[in-house]
Chains A and B, each alone.
Chain A
Amino acid sequence: MIVEAGQVHGFLGPNGSGKTTTLRTLLGLIEPNGGRMAILGKEVPHHLPEVAGQVGAIVESPQFFPHFTAELTLSLLADAGGVNRARVPAVLDLVGLRDRAKERVKTYSLGMKQRLAVASALLKEPKLLILDEPANGLDPGGIREMRTLMRDLSDSGMTVLLSSHILGEIQLICDSVTIISAGRRVTSGSVAEVLASHRSGMVRVRLETGVDLLDAANALREAGAQVTLENDHFTVANASNPALITRVLAQRGVYVSELTPVSADLEDVFLELTGTAPVAGQNRQVDESAISGAKNGWGQ
């Protein structure tokens, strides 16, 4: 996984796939048993102390000593890290906790603790921000604020590595993504590249006016296509070779007026690559990653 400087990079994977373990290992909380990692050009964990001051991070759910106020919590971290305490009010204001700064953390909701965690990561004005599920517990407004914040931080030159399950958010704010499953990378690249390289395989088909849709659909079904009828068109789900649709229909004297690929979103790509799409009548277990049998698509 390579995160380019100045980008917002999404780090995705199903539950138990190893996202948090990867981040913990990167941050020196878990000892690696092999491989190579580097942050800001320095090999870690060996050189982690040298770069730790430039890395702001929250890992998994935010945890703080519950009897301290947010202000005290951050000022203690500032002292420990040699950061000027004067920054504390500024970051609390940035995450929307200015007015609740003098309340004990135990009175905070999950979303407020999450904001405090982000504030603690921002306190040292990091060059690299690593956020594990930062939108956990946030209300819709908070999620939008977080999105704006990430974007602003990125615009200011900060590199952001973001792990999240809210794929719509990732698609909106990330420049690039890495998707892992069962501890292994399954794809990476810019969001546009990943989406382009993993088309849904679904096409929308419209026919000339007056043609019987049902007859045409049945003809395709006989050839193995997964067809779903709509009002004035139908879709073919496993059309990895759309030319076959035109051939089958043309052989019956039916001509296509529209053949459009239905674009995939990040959620579709994620579910396909990780094999975690729900299947009717089955209870998928956490570590199951059953890649679809139609991986290669109909017609190939």
Chain B
Amino acid sequence: MSLARAETRRLFRRRFTSVILISVLLILAATAVGSFFSTEKVGETQIAAAKAEAEANYQEAVKTVAADKQRCLTENPGNAAACDWPDPSPSDYDYTWYMPETFNLRAEYPTMITLLAVVLAGAAFLIGASFVGSEWNSGGMMNLLLWRPRRLQVLGTKLAVLLGWFTGLTLLLGALWTGIFTFIATSRGTTEKMTGGVWQSFGLTGLRGLALVVVAGAVGFAMASLGRHTGMALGALVGLGALQIGVYIMAQLAGAKYPEAWLAPMWAYAWMFKEFEVFDYNSCNFSADSGCEPDKFVLTWQVTGVSLAVVTVLIVGASLWAMRRRDIT
């Protein structure tokens, strides 16, 4: 316990941790405030205004088309067929398109959960990498091992402290986030159709978000520990980005059916939103009802979940193995 207490103190006394956590809070606060002020509740007044605006736009379109037809007939005498344009239809001016933005908790909160998870995952990756990377780089790890020679226990405790605190932070912020957006939906939007099943679905999305945060923290930590420098994790991240672009281009050039399926962010998307569909628009499956339908590949959260777990286990396992076997210099 004394080691865990020391590592907790070390984690939160680092300036980098404070800077990243404050940045996270600022991003989340800006999102919440922006959502609050960019939406409003829809009532009779807003519906009437939207209908009036739609009607005005329709009338304006009718006038414009009539004037254009008249000018066309003047310029093309004896060729009325050339100016036989269809008149605007009232259905082209649906009043719902003129309604103000309103926050629908049921429809939009999953996106907000994902936003929270992605921001926290980024923070976990950076803080995790820096937490152990700077220890290696500054010689602090060696000092610590002179006090606590059980290497795996030291590295494992550091990782556990990092992930434990990020789990707690994610749960706390998740609860606050839910409260804030429920408040926004209640006061500036709608909470229609919020059944128990919807809340359960939110909970499961939140748990997948928590897993994303934990995985990001563990991978950042393990990469930096493997390279014994924070830069190793950051370099790997940049390298992965560059590799993704290269793989995507090569997959396209090679005629792969679903090049988007090779992009890591799409796997994260599938994990959070349960599935991600990619289409091969060069194919055509004709049907009498809907015409040409492209081939479709569905990336499911089960597949991406297993993949994330395997990658995480491999990287964390490698870092533990290296900690046990490599000399400390």
Contacts and interface: CB of A to CB of B under 8 A. Distances in A.
A63 B328 contact: no
Given A29-B145, A65-B138, A80-B144, 12 more contacts: A24-B328, A29-B328, A29-B329, A31-B327, A52-B146, A52-B149, A63-B139, A64-B143, A76-B9, A77-B143, A80-B148, A81-B147
Contacts, number: 78
Nearest to A105: B138
Chain A's interface size range is: 20 to 34
A255 to B, nearest CB: 62
A48 B140 contact: no
Nearest to A69: B13
Contacts of B2: 79-82
B115 interface: no
B139 A64 contact: yes
A65 B135 contact: yes
B193 interface: no
Interface of B: 2-3, 5-7, 9-10, 13-15, 134-135, 138-140, 142-150, 325, 327-329
Chain B binding surface, main DSSP class: helix
Contact of B9 (A55, A63, A79): A79
29 contacts: A24-B327, A24-B328, A28-B145, A29-B145, A30-B328, A30-B329, A49-B149, A52-B146, A57-B146, A62-B139, A63-B139, A63-B140, A63-B142, A63-B143, A64-B138, A64-B140, A65-B138, A66-B138, A76-B10, A77-B6, A77-B143, A77-B144, A77-B147, A79-B3, A79-B9, A80-B2, A81-B2, A81-B148, A82-B2
A203 B148 CA distance: 53
A263 B181 CA distance: 87
Interface centre among B2, B14, B139, B149 (most CB of A within 10 A): B149
A67 interface: yes
Contacts of A65: 134-135, 138, 140
A79 B327 contact: no
A133 B150 CA distance: 25
A59 interface: yes
Contacts of B148: 49, 52, 80-81
Contacts of B142: 29, 59, 63
A120 B143 contact: yes
A30 B327 contact: yes
Contacts of B134: 65
A249 B123 CA distance: 87
Contact of A124 (B139, B143, B147, B328): B147
A63 B138 contact: yes
B151 to A, nearest CB: 8
B13 A72 contact: yes
A45 B135 CA distance: 23
A82 B142 CA distance: 17
A-B pairs, 6 with minimum CB distance: A63-B139, A79-B6, A80-B6, A29-B328, A81-B147, A82-B2
A59 B3 CA distance: 22
Contacts of A59: 142, 146
Interface string A83-118: 000000000000000000000000000000000000
Given A29-B145, A80-B3, A80-B6, A67 B328 contact: no
B173 to A, nearest CB: 26
B99 to A, nearest CB: 53
A27 interface: yes
Interface centre among B15, B142, B143, B329 (most CB of A within 10 A): B143
B141 to A, nearest CB: 9
Interface centre among A64, A75, A80, A120 (most CB of B within 10 A): A80
B146 to A, nearest CB: 5
Interface string A1-36: 000000000000000000000001001111100000
Contact of A76 (B6, B15, B327): B6
A59 B139 CA distance: 10
A94 to B, nearest CB: 18
A77 B135 CA distance: 13
A52 B13 contact: no
Nearest to A63: B139
Contacts of B146: 27, 29, 52, 55, 57, 59
A67 B15 contact: yes
Contacts of A120: 143
Contacts of A29: 142, 145-146, 327-329
B234 to A, nearest CB: 18
Contacts of A31: 325, 327
